Structure formats: C-alpha cells, structure tokens
Amino acid sequence: MRVLFWGTPDFAIPPLRALTGEGFDVIGVVTQPDRPVGRHRSKLEPAPVKVVALEESIPVLQPDRPRGDEFLGELRSLEPDISVVVAYGHILPTSVIDLPKLGTVNIHASLLPTLRGAAPIQAAIREGHAETGVTIMRMVKALDAGPMLLQVRTPIPDDETYGELQLRLAEMGALALIEALALIDIGEAAERPQDDSRATYAPKVDRTMTRVDWTADAATVSRIVRAYDPRPGAYAMVTGGEVKLFGARLAPDARHGEPGEVLAIDEDGMTIACGSSAVRISTVHPAGKRRLSPREWASGRGIAVGERLS
C-alpha cells in the first residue's frame, strides 16, 4: 500500500513512525512550509514531521496551500493508494481528498461526532469530559464529518494536562491507524456514518479562551490551566503584567479567600483562591522572564501572599 502522509506538529510523528516501522510504503510527506523564528524572524524552522521524514529519506512537499494544478500534478506523479492526514493544518479540497484510489483517512483526537474541529484535546479537558479517544475516519468535504472506520477510548485523569493527553492520544492513534489500514487493505473495513445530530465542536484556541476567571469554581479553573499546559499557557494578570500558569491541581483544604487571592506560597507551589475552594499552581511564567517556581517568583518580588491575580 503506497501511503501519502499529511501532517505538521508533534502529534503526527507517532503515526508516521508507526507507518514506516510496520513496513508501509510511505511515498511522500506533505507538511507546511518552514516558518520563520527568532528575534528577527531570520531563521527558518522546519515542521517536526519534516525532520522525521528527512531522517527516513521520505520525499517532502511543502505547498503554501494544498491546491492548484501544479500541486495536483505532483501528487498524481507519486501514485498514492491512500492518503493519511494527521493534523496537517489546512482544509483539503475534494480534488485532493479523492485523488488516491482508496481515498483519504484522518486521525481525529476525539470520539466523533463529539468535538469536531481544530482543538479537540484542549476542549475535552476544559469541558471536563470523563473520557476521550481517537477516531479513524474517511475524509469528506464537511469538517470531520466522514464515516468512521475505528474508534479507541481512554479515560481522562483529573490531573492530566493537554501535553500529556496529546502524547497518549498520538500513540493510540498510531496503533489505531495501522489496524484501520490493515482492514482497508484486505477489504474488511466497516464504515459507520456519524450521527450529525450529536455533533459538538472544538474551535481553534484563541487568547480569550486562555484567560483564567478566578470567580469560577476550583475544578473549572484547574481544567482551564490544564487544557493549555504546556502551550499556549493559561494566563492571569498581576501588578507586574501577565503571568502564565502551569501544573494546576485542586487544593480543597485551603482556607477561604477572595477569588484570585494568593493564599500560600511554599516549596510545592502557590495556592490561589477561586470562586469556591482553591487551586495549587506549581510553575509560573511571568512576561519577559523564564519559567519559575512560585517561590522563586515571590523571592524576586513578583508576587506575595495576599495579593490578587485577575
């Protein structure tokens, strides 16, 4: 089976490595162009998937947009049997989806039709879902709406961060992908349509989502912090400016305080009052500084017990 792989971020690396490790003929990797980084934006950084592809001597395509006659001609010349899409970052036109003779499949990090869209892992944590999973589906023009080939489920622990859950789902997705492709190859893949009436959506993360509302209960505040840990980081405001917060867990035995009030700072972190109960924060990242423990931050006069975050 000749596989054309589409992906960009770290989440796509385990599925790509699984394909090459299981002996699939990965004939090319399509990823986004190298992006400028650094203070002067003068250095180009390749997508994580590109680095892996070059290590495996797999040809790499990096179109600005996945469309146009010239690009379609490049794809046809590769003669793919199937395309596999894992967090590529652009919507594919129908002409690209339908080009391989076996079509295009996608790894989506939720239990579809729940949490279609760009940020299902963050949404599952933020919304307090007890479980999530991975869906292997056939791609269609509508967003994450294609028939499902395979689903795997996993519980979400109360203290799991976005980064931790993303890593687990990437590994689960890699195994599920290999199983789904094997079923397709022998003609035994059973496609199940989604129930569109049950669909929910997880939009792309924007800055407004990552602001902490301290009047919410502690469980909600903890989920907001964990949903954006390690990136982009949930944030609050203090006298010195913005601070990002990481490593949240509940502190049910903390004394009562006003929402956002710093109740304690010690070697284990910082306790902050919420609308009800409190949370513990293990790491902070004040604007313009490196990541610090709350005790280090307090020693530098960045925060003190009794002050309030907003």
Question: Dihedrals φ, ψ of 209, to 5°?
Answer: -70, -25
The structure's pTM equals: 0.95
**Mean pLDDT on 267-279:** 96
Q: How many CB atoms lie within 10 A of CB 41?
A: 9
Instruction: Determine the Cα angle at 227 with ends 105 and 217, to 5°.
Output: 140
Instruction: Determine the Cα angle at 281 with ends 279 and 282, to 5°.
Output: 145
Q: Residue 277 corresponds to which amino acid? A: S
* Intervals of CATH 3.40.50.170 along the chain: 2-198
Give the pLDDT of residue 97.
Answer: 97
* Intervals of CATH 3.10.25.10 along the chain: 207-299
Is the per-residue pLDDT at 136 higher than 90?
A: yes
> What SS3 state is found at 30?
strand
Architecture of domain 207-299: Roll (3.10)
Q: Each residue of 18-64: pLDDT tens digit?
A: 999 999 999 999 999 999 887 777 789 999 999 999 999 999 999 99
> What SS3 state is found at 62?
coil
Q: Each residue of 141-182: pLDDT tens digit?
A: 999 999 999 999 999 999 999 999 999 999 999 999 999 999
Query: With the CA atoms of 167, 3, 30 and 89 taken in that order, what torsion angle do they form, in degrees rounded to the nearest 10?
Result: -50
Give the pLDDT of residue 37.
Answer: 85
Average pLDDT value for the chain: 96
Query: Tell me: domain 2-198, CATH 3.30.40.230, correct?
Result: no
Give the pLDDT of residue 153.
Answer: 98
Give the pLDDT of residue 39.
Answer: 75
DSSP 92: P
Q: Each residue of 74-131: pLDDT tens digit?
A: 999 999 999 999 999 899 999 999 999 999 999 999 999 999 999 999 999 999 999 9
Give the pLDDT of residue 76.
Answer: 96
